[in-house]
Amino acid sequence: MQVRQLAGALGAEISGVDLTRGVSAALASALREVFLLHQVIVLRGQPLTADGFMRFAQAMGTPVEYPFVKGIAGHPHIIEVKKLAHETVNFGGIWHSDTTYLAQPPMGSMLLAREVPPYGGDTLFASQYAAYEALSDTMKRLLQGLRGISTSAKADVSKTREDRLKSDGKKDGPRSHTSSHPVVRTHPETGRKALFVNIAHTAGIEGLTDAESAPLLAFLFAHQVKPEFTCRVVWEPHTLTFWDNRCVQHNPVNDYHGHQRLMHRITLQGDTPI
């Protein structure tokens, strides 16, 4: 197994691994170590079946269902993340951490590229370790103890789900979710601190009025995705990317109108942020 770092803040591309041959306990441990260190791992040339994709996910954690979109046939934990050629809005096309509006947001998410456009459709990732560590000591003290209110109903992110809800939405699911989490969370495995707010889902801060929380959140939203905190993944067919939702945000770039992009996604169970 070879590891090539993608950027200064986060990201690593792993080669020399063939997941179609299965995932041994030793390989799973080695991949997990790179994942925790680099926060985002990329494995290219992995033509996995749905069953093979699920086996890899189960070696990394416990798959859970996405709350709004139903899974593919025979695999309720695998959803399609797609933008069709005639569509103009892409799924989740805004900086975010996945489903922070749940009481236990995911540990991680993984995407497997099935169809990619001839150009564009890259995904940006931002390290929330790096974003937190770059703050002043005074700002860190200010944020300690604050809790952000996350909702699935913010207008910008709701719009990015509309096409998929029409075609693949769950008919019996709840209309919205709301939870509160620490603005700064401590990673349960590494012990490092990370910012845990995001522009897609964080609507306010507990105990503050909207007028009081808005400027603080606006600063954090701009700060936490500065270029020096990011890496960029260029997709190819059969590329698998796995990121740590506890300390990483992502943003799929919507620059391929007129072309189709299809990914399979699995989300892994997380814990209650502290």
> Among 77, 164, 246, 265, which one carries the catalytic annotation?
265
- Does the annotation mark 96 as catalytic? yes
Strand partners, 126: 230, 249
CB 255 within 8 A of CB 35: no
> Among 77, 98, 164, 185, which one carries the catalytic annotation?
98
> Among 96, 181, 187, 201, which one carries the catalytic annotation?
96
> Among 147, 246, 250, 264, which one carries the catalytic annotation?
250
Neighbours of 183 (CB within 10 A): 23
- Does the annotation mark 250 as catalytic? yes
**Whole-angstrom Cα distance, residue 214 to residue 204?**
7
- Which residue, chain included where needed, has tokens 């919507």? 254
Neighbours of 206 (CB within 10 A): 12
Instruction: Encode 174-197 in three state secondary structure.
Output: CCCCEEEEECEEECCCCCCEEECC
Q: Which residues have C-beta within 8 Å of that of residue 84, sequence separation ≥ 6? A: 163, 260
- Does the annotation mark 192 as catalytic? no
List of E strands, 28-158: 40-43, 63-64, 78-83, 108-115, 123-127, 147-151
Structure tokens at 234: 């260029």
* Separation in Å, CA 2 to CA 15, 57, 91, 199: 5, 21, 32, 35
Residue 251 DSSP code: E
**Whole-angstrom Cα distance, residue 37 to residue 247?**
11
- Does the annotation mark 77 as catalytic? no
Q: CA 226, 227, 229, 233: dihedral to nearest 10 degrees?
A: 130
Enzyme catalytic residues: 96, 98, 250, 265
